[in-house]
Amino acid sequence: MTKINYTFKYSKKTVALKLTSQQVQLLRFIGIFGFVTTAQLNLLWSAIVKYPTSLSPSILSKWCSYNGLCNLVPISAKRTNKKEKLLHTTITLTNQARKWLAEINVLPYSYDYSAINSHNEQAIETIVQSIYTATFGKSPLSSYLPYITDTDDHYFYCAKALRGAQLKGVIERASQNRVTGANHNGLNKGASQKVQIHISQLNTTATTDKLLQLISLSGTNRIINYMSCLSTKLQGLLTDGGNSELQQLLNCYTINTNDSSSTLSINILPSRGCLSTKLSTATTSSKTNNVTNIKSVRFHNKFSNLGVGPDYLKELFYQHLPILQQLLQLKLAICFPILTFLNSTKQLVFKRNERIKKSTITKYRPYVALMSPLITTLFQKILIINDLYPNLLYDLTSNTSSATKRDVYIASRPKREKNYRLKKIVKRKKKQDSYSHNLFNQQSSLIGILNSNNSDDKKNSHVKHESQYKKHLKKKTKHLAFAYYYPNQFIRVEAYTADNICLPMELNSIDQLNAEQQNLLIILAYCNILIDPWYQSIHSTADFDAKWHLPVQDKLKYPLQDAPAQRGIDLISNPSFDINNYDFRSFNQQFGYTFAESKSLPFVADEMISFTRNQRKHEIFLELDNRTESNQTQVQKIMNYIWYALKHQEKEISMLIAITDGSLKSRKVSNYTNLGRKVGNMTSLFLRTYLNTDQSKRVYLGALYRQAKNLHIYITGVSEAHLDIASILLGSNYLADQLVTVRQLSSRLAKHTRWNVTYTVSKKVSKLLQTPKLLFNTGNQSFKKILHPSVRNEYDTCSLGTLRFTDKISGKVTKQILIPAQEHELVAVINAYNLLNQRSTKLGQQAPTPLLVYPHRVRAATAIVLPQYTKQYVYNSSYTPIMPYLIQPLYGDNLPSHEQLRWLTIQYAKAIHNYFLIGAVNQAAIKKDISYGDARIDLLNNVFSGRPRPYNELRNLARKMKPLNFVNQLCLNEIPLGLYKFLMTERWPQGAYYVPRYIDLPYLAEHKFKKFFFSPKSEILQIYGLDKLDPSTRSQIKI
């Protein structure tokens, strides 16, 4: 995508302002909301550019100049009502900016925009925080759930789908009795997209024993089980860095990728150079960028990193000067004879009986001896490349012939003809032709040959050579080694090899595979990591909406396609979430209402978001409670939305009540207050409210709500509302996460209590387990309808299943109903309320008690508990199946959190490079004497990673390497944890409610709830009783 500038000029006397398309999008959001605070502005800017950052103060200053784009309203601005005086600086659009945005078709001009007051500030804060969370909270919100399927219609949970919901990425099975998967005939027929993997040659020199030790599966397993487990393990190793075994294996190959909207082609070539997926975009990158990237490793003189493919030729000139350059020129001069090395005579002999002077051999004997194992392979590859690129020999020899005596020491030159005329040489002033300058010309020429250039001749040559390369590749890779479906049943992955190597469908042990098969298994597991960002980049969480997309988008600072595996922007942001596919305009603008117009709806939402997913309309309505309205008023609003949902069954409707809790300071609520009591009382009133019908029968609002299957109601505080709205925007599906939690809980109860515990899935969930299309589908509405009960007392329709407790001594059997829940949604609260008020079953037995299962969170959220439970139940510290509980599992130090740290090394490579050079991120930090401490994080696989290198050793490396190359080779545990925290708190936008687990929430600096909202080091299953409305004082159950 090319870059386009928008120009704003109010009058002839004012200075014109040039804006990028991303800056225009930011102005549109200011116009949509009416006003934003400076903190909200930075959050929106981060969501637009796809990485956490802040808008440059100089840009904002230009926008807020006289007759500019924005108005800066300071805190001290006078208000007619002192209570509406805000505690934050706000930014609004000027009238001329609104007209200009309308002229360029970015935002329609409207007189309907929010007034600057505390009520609207809290509502805008909720929406902005939701956008930020949806952009950077992909993994914790379970928005991307890939699964792997083989051609025999067996499926298995990919470890990445559940990566946050298990200890260190261990796979939990979906089905019982150690069954690999469930049969779903015909599911894979008609795959609409393809991934083709071409492997020209499998290298068996690198050992794979330690890598395969990462897989701990017993019994007979499908090969896709091993592959899915290994993918996440390799992903963790690549993220943490420093694994020598993995790097040794990957160095044997070079990967080229070519992607489109329907096909991804991955070509894997043998090489002894470093593996880098950046080669995939070399044909589309500029020549200057390629030269810059190659020059960064110019003085990296480790002969162990030599390659033998096209990538090697690129790095050859820079890494091994001057002897490698001269050796190459020497061979070009004699038309590429094959060079062999005879260890017995210690001499170089050519097949054409051409000899080199003994003085030359003696002069460069150390270099020749050092490179002897590689020389033969090197020039064999040169011959192959010469067949693919016929002009290579001519162009290189042309450059060589123009070199001076200083440039070439041993290269033999062809003699000039008798009537040959030298061309007139024009000397340039202030430029001297030197060895390095001529050498650089040769390097650029070689790079231009191997890559595509802008000229038509070069393009035609490249197309010809590329077709020859593909033809040559197809001849060698015709055998289909393995085929499967990933990341869903519509994407068929086909792996081709040159040799007759294939993977079996089932294995009893990984030792059954030979060296080549083991190598192939690891390569396919690695390719799955490359497939993920491609798939997410072409699939959006919402249907495309051309109305909000600008004609030309800016090129991203960190393009997803140009990044190597686990080094792209998908480490921190969600490629599938595009804010331009969502409509954030006000309620009146979306429904077409004007001021003082008679409205057909009985409500007016404070904020509204609408979008389509799978051609179905979705609407989110936000009602902000600023502590000025009673609970009865809020219940009346809920009743209005129930009526609206029943009348519009074709829409998916979500209604959210966000209550001011002090997370965003205001003059009314200056400090954070947990709203467990407020939310519990409001929900209780909703359940007790009923309507009188003509037949003198009471119809409770809870029953009406269950009939509106397309309606979802949430009640929470402003500080936690972003979790619910972001989940709706992304179409989160927590079922797989909750199933893993139940299996972990049942296993732990059976091991540490006096009961034998078995888990039986419900009939509805059992059907989902047999249909991955529904189980893993993002934004799956069928799943919500299945788990949304429409018949009272029908446990199977509203539950995940039952836990059966059998006393090991007496044999007494007790059951618990497992109810899937979200912390602020009313569906699970109603289900649990009905179960607890059901005194007995039809057989006269006591009704099973509910166990509410919540999704994993980075930090605990405030789950709704009704006030009538507080006096009804008394808990002790041990688990008893006759009591109701709620379980809130928390993430630990897992792969998503390490991906955030790896992204910090990429975004702030210069600052981290400075730390190892001068001991601080910059000179200002040295003056402030900032200490980062000695604490380090634990790697995901400490067994397979070495110890952190000493600081002095890393300092020496930092002096020789450029920042980005230096941080890429760092292990995450070689950087102090204090430095990570410093970058997060000082460089990332302030005031975000979704923050990494390593830092505290912004509104909990010194607060009694700080202990409740902690993030543990390892995953834990927190079990609470229903005896308190305040979540921090609830009884905590230990197993």
Higher pLDDT, 150 or 655: 655
Higher pLDDT, 871 or 151: 871
Given pLDDT bands bounded at 50, 70 and 90, which one contains residue 84? low
Give the pLDDT confidence of 283-293 residue by residue, as tens digits: 333 333 333 33
Contacts of 628 (CB under 8 A, 6+ apart): none
| Confidence (pLDDT) at 422 | 44
| Confidence (pLDDT) at 467 | 54
Q: Tell me what percent of the residues of the chain surpass a pLDDT of 90.
A: 40
Question: CA-CA distances (angstroms) from residue 28 to 23, 389, 766, 898, 992?
Answer: 9, 50, 46, 34, 21
Can you tell me which residue has the tokens 């119809």?
Answer: 699
Sign of CA dihedral 997, 998, 1003, 1008: positive
**Which has the minimum average pLDDT: 170-174, 356-360, 522-526?**
170-174
Chain centre distance of CA 149: 22
Distance between CA atoms of 290 and 862, rounded to whole angstroms? 51
| Confidence (pLDDT) at 346 | 35
| Confidence (pLDDT) at 14 | 77
**Which has the minimum average pLDDT: 31-40, 223-232, 783-792?**
783-792
Structure tokens at 930: 């900032």
What number is the average pLDDT over the span 655-664? 95
- Taking 70 as the threshold, does the pLDDT of residue 305 lie above it? no
What number is the average pLDDT over the span 487-511? 87
What number is the average pLDDT over the span 465-473? 50
| Confidence (pLDDT) at 1024 | 95
Element (H, E) at 623: strand 616-625
Contact 396, 336 (CB under 8 A): no
Burial letters for 540-549: b for 16+ Cβ neighbours within 10 Å, e otherwise? bbbeebeebe
- Taking 50 as the threshold, does the pLDDT of residue 71 lie above it? yes
Q: Tell me what percent of the residues of the chain surpass a pLDDT of 70.
A: 70
Give the number of other Cβ atoms within 10 Å of residue 737's Cβ: 24
Distance between CA atoms of 336 and 385, rounded to whole angstroms? 11
| Confidence (pLDDT) at 904 | 96
Counting DSSP H helices and E strands in the chain, the numbers are 33, 29
Question: CA-CA distances (angstroms) from residue 18 to 35, 103, 381?
Answer: 22, 16, 50
What number is the average pLDDT over the span 502-509? 87
> Which of 841, 832, 885, 886 has the alpha carbon at shortest distance from 860?
886
Helices (H), 276-309: 287-295
Burial letters for 217-241: b for 16+ Cβ neighbours within 10 Å, e otherwise? eeeebbbbbbbbbbbbbbbbbbbbb
Higher pLDDT, 304 or 235: 235
Beta bridge partners of 584: none
Give, as one character, the DSSP assignment of residue 200.
Answer: S
Give the pLDDT confidence of 592-621 residue by residue, as tens digits: 887 656 677 888 999 999 999 988 999 999
Contact 742, 800 (CB under 8 A): yes
- Taking 90 as the threshold, does the pLDDT of residue 96 lie above it? yes
| Confidence (pLDDT) at 839 | 57
| Confidence (pLDDT) at 538 | 87
**Which has the minimum average pLDDT: 100-114, 315-329, 484-498, 958-972?**
315-329
Beta bridge partners of 607: 622
| Confidence (pLDDT) at 785 | 43
| Confidence (pLDDT) at 711 | 93
- Taking 50 as the threshold, does the pLDDT of residue 334 lie above it? no
Given pLDDT bands bounded at 50, 70 and 90, which one contains residue 476? low
Contacts of 413 (CB under 8 A, 6+ apart): 333, 400, 401
Given pLDDT bands bounded at 50, 70 and 90, which one contains residue 218? low
**Which has the minimum average pLDDT: 258-267, 563-572, 722-731, 1019-1028?**
258-267
Give, as one character, the DSSP assignment of residue 846.
Answer: B
Give the pLDDT confidence of 536-560 residue by residue, as tens digits: 888 889 999 988 998 877 888 888 8
792: left (phi over 0), alpha (psi -120 to 50) or beta: beta
Give the pLDDT confidence of 351-371 residue by residue, as tens digits: 333 444 444 444 444 444 444
- Taking 90 as the threshold, does the pLDDT of residue 131 lie above it? yes
Give the pLDDT confidence of 721-735 residue by residue, as tens digits: 999 999 999 998 888
| Confidence (pLDDT) at 139 | 84
- Range with top average pLDDT, 486-490, 600-604, 636-640: 636-640
Edge to edge, the sheet with strand 70-73 lists: 36-37, 90-93, 70-73
Give the pLDDT confidence of 6-22 residue by residue, as tens digits: 899 887 767 889 999 99
| Confidence (pLDDT) at 762 | 86
Contacts of 787 (CB under 8 A, 6+ apart): 735, 764, 797, 798, 820, 827
| Confidence (pLDDT) at 219 | 67
Give the number of other Cβ atoms within 10 Å of residue 847's Cβ: 17
- Taking 70 as the threshold, does the pLDDT of residue 425 lie above it? no
- Range with top average pLDDT, 225-234, 467-476, 824-833: 824-833
- Taking 90 as the threshold, does the pLDDT of residue 225 lie above it? no
Cut 0.85: pTM above it: no
Helices (H), 788-871: 826-836
Give the pLDDT confidence of 1006-1021 residue by residue, as tens digits: 667 788 888 888 888 9
In whole numbers, what is the pLDDT of the chain averaged over residues?
A: 76
Coil/strand/helix, residue 266: strand
| Confidence (pLDDT) at 960 | 92
